[in-house]
C-alpha cells in the first residue's frame, strides 16, 4: 500500500511538472521577463509591453509570436496534435547551453541564405539535407568569379568524382556519378583557376520525412551537429 501511494505521488508530481512546462521561449525581445530557453505554463498570463516581441514553442511543435502591448494567455495553434515534451527539453538545453541561437550570422559572415545548402566556406563537417532539394554545394560570391575543379571522395571506399564548377555560379548540385551515402565521410576539394583551393571533410544526414514540423526538424538537426542550419531554421519560427 505504501509503495502504491509513493508511486501515485510520483506520477502526480510528474504529471504536474509536464502540465506546467508546456511552452518554451525561443525568441525574445524582453529577456528580463521572458528569457530564451525558459519554460512557462500554458495558462500563464503573458504581460508584454508595447513594441516587444516573444515567440513561444509548444510541445506539439506549434509556436506563437506575441507582440506587445499584450496581457492575456496564449493558445497552441496545434493543440489537437500529439505533444512531445522531449522536443521542448532538447531545445531548451540547446538554447541555455549556447549551442543554439537565433542570431544566425554569428558563425560566419559568409553564409548562404538557404538553410539546406552545404557551405564550403566553413570547416564545419556535419550538414543535414532535405530530400526535396537534394545535396547542393555553395561558395561565396567573391569566390565564384572563376571556374574551378571540384573533387569529391568517399573516404571509406576511396571512390571519387571530379567535375567543373562554372565561373559566376555560387551553387552546384552534388554529382550523380558519386551517389551519396548518408552518415559516411567525404572529402571535398575545390581548386579554382587562380590557384586558390578549398578543402573540407563532410558528413551528410538525410532529414526524415516523418518529422511533422520545423520545430521537430530543428531538434533533429541539433542531434546531428548541423548547428548553423538549425540556427537558420529556428530564426524562421516567428
**How confident is the model over 227-237, as a mean pLDDT?**
94
Confidence (pLDDT) at 3: 45
pLDDT, mean of residues 56-80: 95
Q: Is the pLDDT of residue 5 over 60?
A: no
Grid cell for residue 140: 561565396
Domain ranges of the chain: 2-81, 117-235
- Across all residues in the chain, what is the average pLDDT? 86
Q: Is the pLDDT of residue 31 over 50?
A: yes
pTM, two decimal places = 0.84
CATH 1.10.1330 is held by the domain 117-235:
no
Please provide the DSSP assignment of 12-77 as one string.
Answer: HHHHHHHHT--EEEEEES-TTTS-TT-EE-TTPPEEE-TT-EEEEEETTS-EEEEESSEEE----T
Residue with cell 544526414: 205
102 — pLDDT class (breaks 50, 70, 90): low
Percent of the chain with pLDDT over 70: 87
Averaged over 4-17, what is the pLDDT?
38
pLDDT for the residue 81: 93
Report long-range pairs for 72-75 (Cβ below 8 Å, ≥24 apart). 72/45, 72/46, 73/42, 73/43, 73/44, 73/45, 73/46, 74/23, 74/42, 74/46, 75/42
Amino acid at each position: 500500500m505504501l509503495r502504491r501511494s509513493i508511486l501515485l505521488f510520483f506520477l502526480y508530481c510528474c504529471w504536474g511538472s509536464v502540465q506546467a512546462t508546456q511552452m518554451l521561449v525561443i525568441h525574445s525581445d524582453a529577456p528580463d521577463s521572458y528569457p530564451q530557453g525558459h519554460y512557462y505554463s500554458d495558462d500563464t498570463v503573458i504581460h508584454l509591453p508595447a513594441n516587444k516581441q516573444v515567440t513561444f514553442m509548444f510541445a506539439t511543435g506549434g509556436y506563437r509570436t506575441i507582440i506587445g502591448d499584450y496581457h492575456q494567455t496564449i493558445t497552441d495553434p496545434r493543440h489537437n496534435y500529439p505533444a512531445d515534451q522531449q522536443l521542448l527539453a532538447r531545445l531548451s538545453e540547446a538554447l541555455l547551453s549556447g549551442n543554439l541561437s537565433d542570431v544566425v550570422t554569428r558563425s560566419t559572415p559568409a553564409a548562404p541564405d538557404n538553410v539546406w545548402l552545404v557551405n564550403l566556406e566553413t570547416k564545419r563537417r556535419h550538414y543535414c539535407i532535405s530530400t526535396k532539394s537534394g545535396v547542393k554545394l555553395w561558395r561565396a560570391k567573391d569566390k565564384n568569379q572563376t571556374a574551378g575543379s571540384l573533387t569529391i571522395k568517399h573516404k571509406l571506399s576511396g571512390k571519387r568524382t571530379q567535375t567543373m564548377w562554372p565561373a559566376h555560379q555560387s551553387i552546384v548540385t552534388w554529382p550523380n556519378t558519386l551517389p551519396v551515402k548518408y552518415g559516411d565521410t567525404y572529402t571535398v576539394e575545390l581548386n579554382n583557376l587562380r590557384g586558390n583551393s578549398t578543402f573540407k571533410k563532410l558528413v551528410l544526414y538525410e532529414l526524415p520525412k516523418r518529422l511533422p514540423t520545423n520545430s521537430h526538424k530543428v531538434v533533429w538537426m541539433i542531434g546531428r551537429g548541423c548547428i548553423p542550419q538549425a540556427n537558420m531554421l529556428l530564426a524562421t519560427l516567428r
